[in-house]
Amino acid sequence: MVPPARILWQRAALIQSLRVFFIDRGYLEVDTPVRIPAPAPELHIEAEPAGDWYLQTSPELCMKRLLAAGIPKIFQICNCFRRQERGHRHLPEFAMLEWYRVASDYRDLMAECEELFRFVAERLGLGGRLMVAGEEVALDGPWERLTVAEAFRRHASLSVAEALADDCFDEVLVRDVEPRLGRRRPTFLCDYPAELGALARLKPDDPTVAERFEIYIAGLELANGFSELADPVEQRRRFEQERAAMARLGRVPGPMPEPFLGALSSMGPAAGIALGIDRLVMLVVGADTIDQVVPFSPESL
C-alpha cells in the first residue's frame, strides 16, 4: 500500500534539508557507482550479487577513495542493498546518507550530528524536539554520550567482556540496552569493543575499544559513525579476518577491495558516518514501521 502523500512530502522535505545542510557547509555531493566489484568484507553484512559484481552495501569504500584523492568533505544520498534484512525497521533496499571529512575524528562527527538534527528539525517545523509514540525527545540540549561499557553496566545483567565471552553481545544489546537508549534526549552509544568495528580506528589511549558510535533516538538506531582506520596494513589484516570468519560460516567472501586498500595510505586522518534516512523519516512522521515511510516495500512490488 502506497503511503499517504503527506508522508512522501515530509520525506522529500527531509531529504532536501539534509542536502541543504551539507551544501551550505561546503560539502561536495557525490554519486559513486551502485554496482561494485568488491564490497567491504564484513561478517554480518551480506551483499546482493548483481551479475559478476555486487550492489553496494554502503558507498563507504568509494567515498574514502575520494578523500584519498584529495577531496576534503563529501556527502552522498543513495540506496544501499543488504541481503536477508527485513523487519519492521529493516528493508533489503534502503536510503542512506553518508558523509566523510578529513582531519576529523568521531567527536567532530558527534558535534556535527547534533547540528544536523537541529537544522532538520527547524526546517521541518518540529521545534527542537521529536515526538515518538507520545514521548518527547529534546534535540536542542546536549545529547547523551554513553560508552558501550557504561551502557551495559547500567542496563544489562552482565558486562561487555562477559557478553563477548558468552557470545551474546548482540542479544543483550538488542534486548536489554537498545530499548533504553535515547529516551528524553538522543544518545551517542560510543567506544565499541575493538572487534566490532572492522573499518574504525582504535582509541589511542585505550586500544580495547574502537572510536565508533551509534545514534539512538527512542530506542531506534539511526546512524553509525567512526574515526576512520587509515592504516592499509591493519585494514587488510582485518578484512582477512572477516573473510575467514565468513568462510567458516559457509559463505563465499567476495574479492578483496584492492583499489581501496591501495588508496588508503593517501587518506589522512578522517571520520565518516552512515545514517539511515528511512528511519529518520519514521521519527519525523511518527511511523512505527519502515514500510510506512517508503513508496513501496519489496513485498508490494
User: Rule CB under 8 A: which residues touch other proteins?
Assistant: 42-45, 84-90, 169-171, 173-175, 178, 192, 196-198, 214, 221, 224, 249
For other proteins, the closer CB: 102 or 280: 280
- CB of 12 vs other proteins, minimal distance in Å: 26
Q: How far is the CB of 1 from other proteins (least distance, A)?
A: 19
Tally the residues of the chain. 301
**Which one, 89 or 129, has the nearer CB to other proteins?**
89
* Closer residue to other proteins in complex, CB, 90/129: 90
Minimum distance, C-beta of residue 122 to other proteins, in the bound complex (Å): 27
Smallest separation, CB 194 to other proteins (Å): 12
As measured in angstroms, the least distance from the Cβ of 53 to other proteins is 23
Least distance (Å) between residue 21 CB and other proteins = 22
Q: Which helix (H) or strand (E) holds 117?
A: helix 106-123
The residue written with cell numbers 515511510 in the block is 293
CB of 72 or CB of 219, closer to other proteins: 219
Query: And the C-alpha cell for 297?
Result: 516495500
How many angstroms separate the CA atoms of 77 and 162, rounded? 38
Report phi then psi at 136, rounded to 5. Answer: -95, 130
87 secondary structure, DSSP code: B
Query: Which residues does 22 contact at the CB level (< 8 Å), separation at least 6?
Result: 29, 75, 99
Nearer to other proteins, 69 or 174 (CB): 174
Closer residue to other proteins, CB minimum distance, 54 or 192: 192
Instruction: Give, for 273, the enclosing helix (H) or strand (E).
Output: strand 270-276
Say how many C-beta atoms besides its own lie within 10 A of residue 93's C-beta: 16
- Minimum separation from the CB atom of position 66 to other proteins (A): 23
Contacts 24+ apart (CB under 8 A), 131-138: 131/286, 132/217, 132/218, 132/220, 132/283, 132/286, 133/218, 133/286, 133/288, 135/183, 135/184, 135/218, 136/184, 137/182, 137/183, 137/184, 137/185, 137/186, 137/217, 137/218, 138/184, 138/185
Q: H or E segment at 131?
A: strand 129-132
- Measured from the CB atom, the residue of 11 and 212 that comes closer to other proteins is 212
